[in-house]
Amino acid sequence: MSWEENVKKVVPYVPGEQPKTKVIKLNTNENPYPPSDKVKHALEHFDIDSLRLYPDVNGGELRTKLSEVYSVDEEKIFVGVGSDDVLAVAFLTFFAGKKPILFPDITYSFYDVWADLYDIPYEMIPLDDDFRIKKEDYFRPNGGIVIPNPNAPTGVEKSIEALEEIVSKNKDSVVIIDEAYVDFGAKSMLPLIDKYDNLLVVQTFSKSRCMAGVRIGMAFGNPKLINYMNDVKFSINSYTMNRLTVAAGVAMLEDSAYFEEMTNRVIATRERTKVALRELGFEFPDSKSNFIFARHKQVAAKEIFEAAKKNGIFMRWWGKPRIDNYLRISIGTDEQMDEMIAFLKEYLK
Ligand SMILES: *Cc1c(COP(=O)(O)O)cnc(C)c1O
């Protein structure tokens, strides 16, 4: 059709499947545990009349609560509809130069999608054979850098000393550290935002805070970075954080004991799962996230992926170069992992 000439054509990000039937869902890194009861209470007592009014453009009480819990001034916090929203705004805001931005070749598969969508030139920097980031690769001219820590889908943590070197050697560009999984045992760069005005730290409620369905993400950085992001955001949609989301997010932040308990549970389950997978002939880089990126020494990942799916166990598999023999298995409850291990034992026999 002739109007198609004027259409923006992109290859979209493909999210993991959300099956309608009841399965053991280990394919999109959601938390297996529900939000705190405080969230339930907050929504049950929510002031429905208030929905008549537009919400606060900066996330209102959610940003205030984040400021309290993370000990960061409000003016250094940006909130969005999941970290995908925060990252999309950050790409649009900070990666407007002519030089290519840099990110690993094996990483969150949304980065190249946004770069293509916003016409940002980019270079994917190969991880080494053990899926590690080499900091020296990032000591070269660039228009910006984005690195998840721990990386996804590998689960590998990079030391904050090495990341700090990347930030300090790239003062002319913004470095985004995507800490979607940091609460599962990695170190955060958050304490460094006052030291480096080119550092933006992005986190989310979707994984460690049990609320992927609510859609809350946040960025921490110096006020100048945050103001630039707001200018872009206010040019698209000012009211991204709705009042129900804010109420749920505040309530979740009020229960730090629950947050710590659930995070520790996931970590404990991950560690036992590592042992069980190794016994079954899997190998994997050490994970500091809520998933394990594993391959079997004899059996192809695709075969295991398909057989597991037939048995109601969903994992993630990408038929992409370098990682087509790997499965990403999210950490569920102990019971779910036991069922998954039992299936693998039987299947691999
Ligand atoms: C899950 C994930 C996100 C986005 O999660 P939201 O649900 O949009 O907050 C961002 N980055 C990485 C690396 C992720 O794995």
Q: Which of 18, 157, 178 to mutate to test the pocket of ligand 1 (most atoms within 8 A of CB)?
A: 178
pTM of the model: 0.96
Structural domain includes residue 307: yes
CA distance 337 to 308: 13
Q: How many domains does the chain have?
A: 2
Alpha-carbon torsion (207, 270, 163, 71), positive or negative:
positive
Read off φ and ψ for residue 208, nearest 5 degrees: -75, -20
Q: Which of 296, 339, 252, 314 minimizes the C-alpha distance to 29?
A: 314
Q: Are residues 313 and 219 in the same domain?
A: no
CA distance 292 to 128: 18
Measured in Å, residue 95 CA sits from the centre of ligand 1 at 19
The answer to whether the beta carbons of residues 281 and 296 sit under 8 Å apart is yes
CATH of the domain at 289: 3.90.1150.10
Q: Are residues 130 and 248 in the same domain?
A: yes
Q: Are residues 178 and 273 in the same domain?
A: no
Q: Which of 85, 87, 204 to mutate to test the pocket of ligand 1 (most atoms within 8 A of CB)?
A: 204
Structural domain includes residue 316: yes
Q: Are residues 183 and 315 in the same domain?
A: no
pLDDT score at 289: 98
Q: Are residues 228 and 283 in the same domain?
A: no
Q: Are residues 66 and 202 in the same domain?
A: yes
Structural domain includes residue 132: yes
pLDDT score at 267: 98
Q: Are residues 162 and 181 in the same domain?
A: yes
Q: Which residues of 184-223 are buried (b: 16+ CB within 10 A; e: fewer)?
A: bbbbbbbebbeebebbbbbbbbbbbbbbbebbbbbbbbbe
Q: Which of 335, 333, 293 minimizes the C-alpha distance to 315?
A: 293
Q: Are residues 249 and 261 in the same domain?
A: no
pLDDT score at 16: 83
pLDDT score at 14: 86
DSSP states of 79-132 = EESHHHHHHHHHHHHH--SSSPEEEESSS-TTHHHHHHHTT--EEEEPP-TTSP
Q: Is the CB of 330 under 6 A from ligand 1?
A: no
Q: Which tokens sit at 57?
A: 């453009």
User: Which residue among 220, 253, 286 closes a domain?
Assistant: 253
Cβ neighbors of 209 (< 8 A, separation 6 or more) are 31, 35, 183, 216, 252, 259
Residue closest by Cα to atom 2 of ligand 1 = 180
Q: Is the CB of 152 under 6 A from ligand 1?
A: yes
Alpha-carbon torsion (275, 280, 286, 292), positive or negative:
negative
Residue closest by Cα to atom 11 of ligand 1 = 180
Q: Is the CB of 179 under 6 A from ligand 1?
A: no
Q: Are residues 171 and 108 in the same domain?
A: yes
Q: Which of 106, 185, 129, 158 minimizes the C-alpha distance to 175?
A: 158
Q: Are residues 102 and 240 in the same domain?
A: yes
pLDDT string in tens for the chain (349-residue length): 899 998 999 989 888 888 878 899 999 999 999 999 999 999 999 999 999 999 999 999 999 999 999 999 999 999 999 999 999 999 999 999 999 999 999 999 999 999 999 999 999 999 999 999 999 999 999 999 999 999 999 999 999 999 999 999 999 999 999 999 999 999 999 999 999 999 999 999 999 999 999 999 999 999 999 999 999 999 999 999 999 999 999 999 999 999 999 999 999 999 999 999 999 999 999 999 999 999 999 999 999 999 999 999 999 999 999 999 999 999 999 999 999 999 999 999 9
Q: Are residues 68 and 201 in the same domain?
A: yes
Q: Is the CB of 146 under 6 A from ligand 1?
A: no
CA distance 147 to 108: 9
Q: What domain range is 94 assigned to? A: 46-253
Q: Are residues 27 and 56 in the same domain?
A: no
Please give the span between the terminal C-alpha atoms of the chain, in angstroms, as a whole number: 54
Measured in Å, residue 5 CA sits from the centre of ligand 1 at 33
> Within 10 Å of residue 21's Cβ, how many Cβ atoms?
5
Closest ligand 1 atom, residue 152 Cα: 13
Measured in Å, residue 239 CA sits from the centre of ligand 1 at 21
- Region class of 281: left (phi > 0), else alpha (psi between -120 and 50), else beta: left
CA distance 283 to 281: 7
Structural domain includes residue 105: yes
